[in-house]
Amino acid sequence: MGSSGPLTSIEICAGAGGQAVGLHSAGFQHLALVEIDKHACKTLRENVENHSDWDGCEVIEADVNDVDPFAHPQLVKFGLKPGDLDLLAGGVPCPPFSVAGKRLGEEDERDLFPRMLYLAGLLRPKAVMIENVAGIRDPKFAPYRERIVAELEGYGYEFCGWELIEARAYGVPQLRPRTILVMIRKEYLRNAKFEWPVGSDEIVTVAEALAETMRERCEPYGARGQAVFDRWLAKAMEQDAEAPTLVGGSKLHGGADLGPTRAKRAWAALGVDAMGLANDPETCDPERDLFRPNGPMLTVEQAAIIQGFPRDWKLVGGKTARYRQVGNAFPPPVAAAVGRAIAAVLRSEGPDDRELLPLPHQTAEFSTASADGVRNPETAGV
């Protein structure tokens, strides 16, 4: 039967929690967030431990390829059996499908679609949600997309679409198209229809999004600070636009800035110097951070606002590490919108027969996903 209570979820490649924040606001209770980056895990712990409504959520700092959902010490307490979990979600690595990542697709060792599919086969969640860059919709990846869908259909899921969603349609003050795959177990769609969110034509501009924090940064510096704020606000309001796409960058590169040359030009038109990041307000160097010829630089917190994070979600780590967490994140408002659409199906009248289909064998295309030591739940006594 339908339920208004929390729906359970496990998320892989959780990063700084952008998708998790959105799904949480859509009514999902995370059992675990799996992430390999130590800085992102510190961010997740900081927030999970200091927000009472996240009680019980485990932050698992590990390579997802090494996580057995039925035997991992942080997961065994949940006593999960196939079919128990409501949602398996994850923003699997984007470089295999992005221009910057050379678009090697399934040939890229960073591709974690196979692992996501393997976990779906083990856990048999009621729904699967996978986020990636717009580039995965390119025709060159069509055969791979078809095999991904076929694999999940073999587990009893119905294809709901590879939807291209523009974040600015959901109140995110940024141009950020993302592709989202949703598949839901067929029995849950017998009496309900999955409807993709439609968003809005009304955008949130950079001026609207950053006015409060920019004023807070400038106020301590009196008339000179006010002049900086006024000049910035005038330019930002004149453009009346959202921000260009934030780019998180790679650990292989140096300090963070706000993107390639074209993005820097767009930021300059918005009154922001995009050549680096400002220090946090408490450690502000006003000559470096605010009083620049091309306008103030943004703080990491302001970049997080551009990404759609709420201000009470604290990022942990050095400036560059925190910015990379922000730049690589899935905007929470988009995750929330899709999460609500999934929740509407799962909370509707349930299926008459909830028996799982027999567990199919891993197809040849994705056989490499089966890491040694991860047990088949049908033979593991779970």
**pLDDT given at position 249:** 58
Enumerate the domain spans of the chain. Answer: 7-201+330-369, 206-241+249-327
102: confidence class by pLDDT, cuts 50, 70, 90: very low
Residue 105 has pLDDT above 60, yes or no: no
**pLDDT given at position 334:** 97
366: confidence class by pLDDT, cuts 50, 70, 90: very low
Give per-residue pLDDT as tens, 20-35.
999 999 999 999 999 9
* Mean pLDDT, range 80-106, rounded to an integer: 69
Instruction: Name the residue among 304, 312, 303 with its Cα closest to residue 272.
Output: 303
Q: Both tokens of residue 133?
A: 């860059």
Residue 367 has pLDDT above 50, yes or no: no
For residue 166, the SS3 value is strand
User: How far is Cα 74 from Cα 313, in angstroms, rounded to an integer?
Assistant: 23
Report yes or no: 116 and 12 within 8 Å, Cβ to Cβ.
Answer: yes
Report yes or no: 14 and 328 within 8 Å, Cβ to Cβ.
Answer: no
357: confidence class by pLDDT, cuts 50, 70, 90: very low
Report yes or no: 308 and 17 within 8 Å, Cβ to Cβ.
Answer: no
Beta carbons within 8 Å of 53's beta carbon, 6+ residues apart: 24
Q: Which residue has the higher pLDDT, 6 or 124?
A: 124
Residue 381 has pLDDT above 50, yes or no: no
Q: Which amino acid is at 98?
A: S
User: How far is Cα 88 from Cα 31, in angstroms, rounded to an integer?
Assistant: 10
Active site residues: 94
| CB burial string 193-232: b at 16+ within 10 A, e below | ebeebebeeebbbbbebbbebbeebbeebeeebeebbeeb
Percent of the chain residues topping a pLDDT of 70 = 83
Residue 248 has pLDDT above 90, yes or no: no
Mean pLDDT of the chain: 87
Topology at the third CATH level for domain 7-201+330-369: Rossmann fold (3.40.50)
Give per-residue pLDDT as tens, 112-142.
888 999 999 999 999 999 998 888 888 888 8
**pLDDT given at position 348:** 87
**pLDDT given at position 70:** 96
Q: Which residue blocks in 187-278 are alpha helix, DSSP H?
A: 206-218, 222-239, 261-269
Residue 3 has pLDDT above 70, yes or no: no
